[in-house]
Structure 1
Amino acid sequence: MAYDTLISVSQLHDLFAAGADLLVLDCDFELGEPEKGRERYRAGHLPEARYAHLDEDLAGPPDGSNGRHPLPARVAFAAWLRKQGLKQEQQVIVYDSRGGAWAARAWWLLRWMGHAQVALLDGGKQAWAEAGLPLETGYPASVVPGDFTPGEPLVPAPVSARQVLANVENGGAQVLDARDPSRFRGDPNPIDPVPGHIPGARNRFFRDNLGSDGRFLPASELAAAFSVLLDGRPAVLSCGSGVTACHNALAMAVAGLPEPRLYPGSWSEWIADPARPIATGDA
């Protein structure tokens, strides 16, 4: 059985017990402390997991105008995946310790590369540890490179800042911003040098996709919440830098909703051009 959205701790444990051929990616990260995730990985990670660094592995180089975490070049990302041992049609599991905030980016990127067999561990590393299951420390042994070759993207084409600007005028799609409500409103914060949001956007804080246990809400609840926000329009997903927006993409996939389009540059790209309009407040 292939998993392509979420996988539970018990399901993953069963795959390990059955000797399934898996690639597990630990995507832990901390904004403002880029080495913190790697430190957590070394201190304890799922068996045979490789580490995926948001800045270094799951993003391309920023140039001051394309956002903090632009998409990596497909050729470079495919090479990195092969280096981690990825094989064609191999099951990939991604996780972190922040409710999927960073791992969802890896999930979306793999689908963008045409790899369908990728799932996020529901509940993350905490759920695994709380189940009394083992963690490993340090780094795994040397990895035999895989044979992965990119295929046609399994996600709609990302949108550009120019397309988002046009949408401000015509309103054909609904922009959903995954940042927390205070950043969306435009309250001063240490992350956004210019406060506010894209005019016409609505706020869907990515953590609202999770229950109190850190696991994703049932599909029916997610579908109802997103349907109210979208009101029949297609979705364009944004956040601070195109990362937690992917959490909303995963939630929509769990809910069985139409595929949204990602705005990779998101707010950090939008504000790089002072001519682009900015809104503040709750709407």
Structure 2
Amino acid sequence: MPEFDQHQPTTFCHSQLATRDVQRAKVFYNELFGWTFDDVRLPSGGVYTRCSVRGRDVAAFRQAGRDAGWTLCISVHNVDTAVQRATRLGGRVRSAPNDVLHLGRMATIEDRDGATFGVWQSQARAVTPLVGEVSAACWHELSADDPADAQQFYTELFGWRARTSHELGREYTEFRLGTQAVGGLVKTPAPRTPPSWIAYFSVRDCDWAARIATAMGGETVVAPRDLPTVGRFAVIRDTEGSLFGILGSRPS
């Protein structure tokens, strides 16, 4: 899978976990994905933790107050412009644009349905991300109460195209940028979960990874199951309840 220095604009580029216990998160995600960590002191006095595999960035942690959870970030040319456009479309700013060290500029936005995501403007050659390989993010999916409204919001904001099918026995929408699949969209399985974006991380063995996550104090929300032509997936809550997915090949 590719390793590269810059993400194409309007594709997912970064996953950031807000956690109340950074050390506990390190233990959990190191055991599950083999991530290593580099703590960088922020000018405000806090710590920003870069998570990596073989020296390539895969995610980041920051200290959370009440807003624990994963935020999925989408690459943009200009964060401030993206925020202005999102608000014109009916979105709401959760955190205003701010600089993250020398790495980039970020803001978080809530869409019209209530799902939160980030926009990220990377500094030139500031990070060397790893995507698609084992232990890195490989897919991003939105569950929305109103999928039709979500389609309109994101296609207008990012220029994505939406392609809807019923191949897996349910309505599933794939967001595309040109020929590239960017992410997925499904209807929220109400009333279990609020609208949200979820990142899926690649694993070699989905069943093994789900067992490890549970043994480490997490919870398997969706037990490992097969998706035709895709692989085997599960949905996990970590030790603080933050939701993410894992995706591996089906057993041969």
**Structure 1 or 2: larger strand share?**
2
**Structure 1 or 2: larger helix share?**
1
Higher relative contact order (CA 8 A, sep 6+): 1
Q: TM-score, normalised by structure 2?
A: 0.28
Larger radius of gyration: 1
